[in-house]
Amino acid sequence: MKTLPLRIALVLGLIVGLHLVTIPNSVAETVKPQGEIIPFDADKWNFIGNTKIVDHQGKKAIKLGVRPEGKPFGFGAAMVKGASFTNGIIEYDVSFGQTRTFAGIRFRAQKPGNFENFYMRPHQSGNPDANQYVPVYNRASAWQLYYGPQYSAATKYKFNKWMHIKLVVSGKLADIYIDDMSKPAVTIALKRDVKSGGVGLWGVSVGGPAYFANFSVKPMDNVDIVGTPVPEIPAKNGTVMSWQVSNSFDRNSVDGSAMLSKDMIASLSYKALAAGKTGMTNLARVQGTAKGKESVFAKVTIKSEFDQTKKFEFGFSDMATVYLNGQPMFSGSDRFRSRDYRFLGTVGYNDAVYLPLKKGDNELQIMVTEIIGDVGGWAVQGRFENMDGLSVQ
């Protein structure tokens, strides 16, 4: 049976500056949304999963993530019917207890399972990961990939009181205000292409549900972004900035093999996929996962001027096997809680292997697996300690 955190990660996958932001008192009671309130009526919304319309703390609200009796969690979502949002202002009030809860907003939603996503973690109040922005590609969440001050703010929440949330979205930028409307809690450099799409709310309850009220959307082309995103740390020299990524396949068809077979190699087709500025490559941008299709090969050709051994540092999610010229060199797991009970499985340069390169062309292939049911990001990154006597093609 899966552990409770893995079950939560599955749900998040299906939906899913380090300054301290302190929330003032009673702001949500006085802020008036700039757009027209969309009432929580069936003719205005599509309701998904566990949802309920209630009166909560003096407001008509939607309760998302109602946990069914005997179940480890509850998931609920509501999408505005016919919404087409590119740029503008999204506002709503949110309330939750001091519980293990996830309360989120998705926007610019494309079918199937592609959208921008921002959510709050009440149980992490005051911590650097109290909230998080993640882009979702092909139904694959990516909270293990996009973390840090570029994507979140260490926010202290009010519990069991209404807080006002405002997203100001313009092109590739978004200011996110959390109850303090004088300045954004965090400004995000959005990752997905700018496309018009749907808007909706979602909630996951492990210890308690999330309540939303006074939801409004105001599409507009000219909105001002006042914050500045925390810059990403650019990749070092020697980082692989583009991979050839194969079609997906069943890891069990390869695991345990001493060498990659010629038939296996011949059966694959590849697409080029550029890494991001940091060198991290989100493999879900190419395709999603499915049972029996949870693994890909990411490969590059390394041209060495002479026989030599080179240190190669890399990161991945969730599991990886490294092959050089068809020979396995490394196998490991980077899953949530795989290394200790606090390990989040975030992608970093946590592993290294020494590659015995021959003179001429060498093929480096990394089989990367995203565990079904442990969805938090599917990624690979790698870099050479130095590039003396070699080039990457």
CA neighbor of 278 nearest in space, from 370, 117, 147, 141: 147
Q: Block means of pLDDT (10 residues each) for the chain, length 393 residues? A: 47 43 49 85 96 96 90 93 97 96 97 94 97 95 94 97 98 98 97 97 95 97 96 96 95 75 83 97 93 93 98 95 94 80 82 97 96 82 96 93
Of 123, 168, 167, 129, which is closest to residue 147 (Cα–Cα)?
129
Rounded to two decimals, what is the model's pTM? 0.88
Domains 4-219 and 242-392 share a fold: yes
Domain edges within the chain: 4-219, 242-392
Domain 4-219 has CATH 3.30.70.420: no
In sequence order, the 6+-apart residues with CB closer than 8 A to the CB of 23 are 155, 156, 157, 158, 163, 178, 179, 180
CATH class of 242-392: mainly beta
**Angle at alpha carbon of residue 173, lines to 167 and 178, rounded to 5°:** 30
pLDDT attached to residue 249:
92
Within a 10 A sphere around the Cβ of 173, how many other Cβ atoms?
17
d(CA 271, CA 281): 13
- Note the pLDDT of residue 41: 96
Q: Please name every residue paired with 155 in a beta bridge, in sequence order, or none if there are none.
A: 21
From 44, 208, 57, 190, select the one nearest 121 (Cα to Cα). Answer: 208
According to the model, what pLDDT value does residue 334 have? Answer: 84
- Which residues contact residue 272 at a Cβ distance below 8 angstroms, ignoring those fewer than 6 apart? 242, 243, 244, 245
Residue 257 pLDDT: 66
